[in-house]
Structure 1
Amino acid sequence: MNTTNTPFLSLCTVGALNQPRSLQIIGGREAVPHSRPYMAYLKTQNETHSSACGGFLIRPDAVLSAAHCVDKKRVRLHCSCTERSQQKIRAGKWVIHPQYLHKGFKNDIVLLKLKKKAEINDNVQCISIAKENERVRVGDLCTVSGWGRTSLDPPGSDVLREVELKVQEDKICQRVSSNYQRQSMICVGDEKEEKATYKGDSGGPLVCNKKAHGIVSGGYENPFFPKAFARISHFEPWIRKQLKRTGLSP
């Protein structure tokens, strides 16, 4: 767990507010304002460049995201939101899964503890996560939202977007990458529909039946299909343990 010499973090828990020309989802649609009140916007910045990630509020003072968004980065994470309903909150600690590997994006999950609780209201809310015994089925239609690119090249539009993606058989992702792990990953996306998450969407939730079942992770060279997301049900015992260790109610 990072507790000393850590970069400054702040998170913006938002609904569907406008963002300053960040990068967005491919083949999706503009989200209805405040329809995704659990979304958090993280912008990583150092002296040479900046990049953006998503995240989602699972407790008033806890956010889940992808480990590669913060791994080995001495950066400043901040929110450049402008809407009145946004809440800018620092993260005091975060813990990356101990088996995380950037190669293949294995165990690509991080839990961030906020320095203060977010104010829960109509525009900022938590989302439930899948329990250890809950799994999505092949063919389930789920939703992902984020500020990632809408095409291979920037810029994107300036609003939160969302896209519906279908859960695929594990063997489809296994054919594409030897790094795919069926126990800890979910294979998502239909190549015929040309819809996908892309750069800037990492860390956002895969929402199925109003629960977060996956986390947008690193993809393969083909930006459209398929995508391997971190499977939350696999990590739920670890998440619960970290919530207790950091003094958060599970």
Structure 2
Amino acid sequence: LSLPLSLPPSFFSASMWTVYLGKLLLGRSAPAEEALRVSRLLLHHYYDAETHDYDLALLRLERPVAPSTLARPACLPSPAHLYEPGLLCWVTGWGTLREGGRASDKLQKVDVRLVSQEACVRSYGYMVTPRMLCAGYRSGGKDACQGDSGGPLVCQEQSQSARWFLAGVVSWGRGCARPDYYGVYTRITKFTSWITEHINS
């Protein structure tokens, strides 16, 4: 694994970025965590900062890393992989614990349910494109928040293998955990071919 996924908040150059594996606390280092420099940053060529469409980038690490007990990769889904609305998934990050609040020093996780594309469009209208995916609750209460952008939305396969797949990457939303407004994620199945092409090159 040498190409983790992230989203582009405001990229300048690869040398400005460091990837941490196994990090739980932002404010201090732990013996088990690993820091790696980024040797190349590839922003999707159709990325639109205003609409958040094609909101995805690849980071090439200075060297490959092996999975460990503290940092394991999620599987990349095939373009045909289907995620059923209602599936319980997880999002992680160090973002604010509530809208307008302070960032967390400890890595947080929250469970959210996938919603249909129709429900997503009812929430946001024309702003939702086929390359976006919504998750959360109509009643609000649980969501990613400011500072979580680029974080993973992972879902566990409902089969014997029980593998974890990367379904989305935190992209945008209206506030945090507001009723009637879901979190919006980059839909990874729409980018599997692009990701694979650049990993192989």
* TM-score bin, normalised by smaller chain: 0.7 to 0.9
Rounded Cα–Cα distance in structure 1 between residues aligned with 2:92 and 2:128:
23
User: Which stretch of structure 1 is more off in the superposition, 128-137 or 148-157?
Assistant: 148-157
Rounded Cα–Cα distance in structure 1 between residues aligned with 2:119 and 2:13:
32
Indicate yes or no: 2:4 matched with 1:63: yes
Q: What is the TM-score of this pair, normalised by structure 1?
A: 0.68
SS in 1 for 2:119: helix
With over 3 angstroms needed to count, the CA separation of the structure-2 counterparts of 1:114 and 1:221, relative to structure 1, is same
> What's the counterpart of residue 120 of structure 1?
67
- Aligned partner of 1:212 among 166, 171, 187: 166
> What's the counterpart of residue 169 of structure 1?
116
> What's the counterpart of residue 17 of structure 2?
77
> What's the counterpart of residue 132 of structure 1?
79
Amino acid aligned to 1:228:
V
> What's the counterpart of residue 227 of structure 1?
183
Rounded Cα–Cα distance in structure 2 between residues aligned with 1:222 and 1:157:
15
Q: What's the CA shift for 1:75?
A: 8.2
Give runs of aligned pairs for residues 23-172 of structure 1, distance below 5 A: 59=1, 61-67=2-8, 69-72=9-12, 76-78=16-18, 81-172=28-119
Contact kept? 1:147, 1:161, Cα under 8 Å: yes
Structure 1 residues 69-91: Cα deviation after superposition (integer angstroms, max 9, x where no partner) = 24457983346651111111000
Considering Cα pairs closer than 8 Å and 6+ residues apart, tell me whether 1 or 2 has the greater RCO.
1
With over 3 angstroms needed to count, the CA separation of the structure-2 counterparts of 1:239 and 1:144, relative to structure 1, is same
Contact kept? 1:89, 1:118, Cα under 8 Å: no
- Aligned partner of 2:150 among 192, 203, 207: 203
Contact kept? 1:127, 1:211, Cα under 8 Å: yes
Contact kept? 2:14, 2:39, Cα under 8 Å: no
Structure 1 residues 150-197: Cα deviation after superposition (integer angstroms, max 9, x where no partner) = 01233243211111111112223223242201x211111113141110
Rounded Cα–Cα distance in structure 1 between residues aligned with 2:140 and 2:121:
20
Contact kept? 2:95, 2:148, Cα under 8 Å: yes
> What's the counterpart of residue 242 of structure 1?
198
Give 5+ residue unaligned stretches, structure 2: 21-25, 157-163
- Aligned partner of 1:187 among 107, 129, 134: 134
Rounded Cα–Cα distance in structure 2 between residues aligned with 1:160 and 1:231:
23
Q: What is the TM-score of this pair, normalised by structure 2?
A: 0.83
> What's the counterpart of residue 42 of structure 1?
none
What's the Cα RMSD here? 2.1
User: What is the number of equivalent residue pairs in this alignment?
Assistant: 184
Amino acid aligned to 2:171:
S
Contact kept? 1:87, 1:118, Cα under 8 Å: no
Amino acid aligned to 2:126:
S
Amino acid aligned to 2:115:
Q
Amino acid aligned to 2:193:
P
Same amino acid, percent of matched pairs: 24
SS in 1 for 2:98: coil
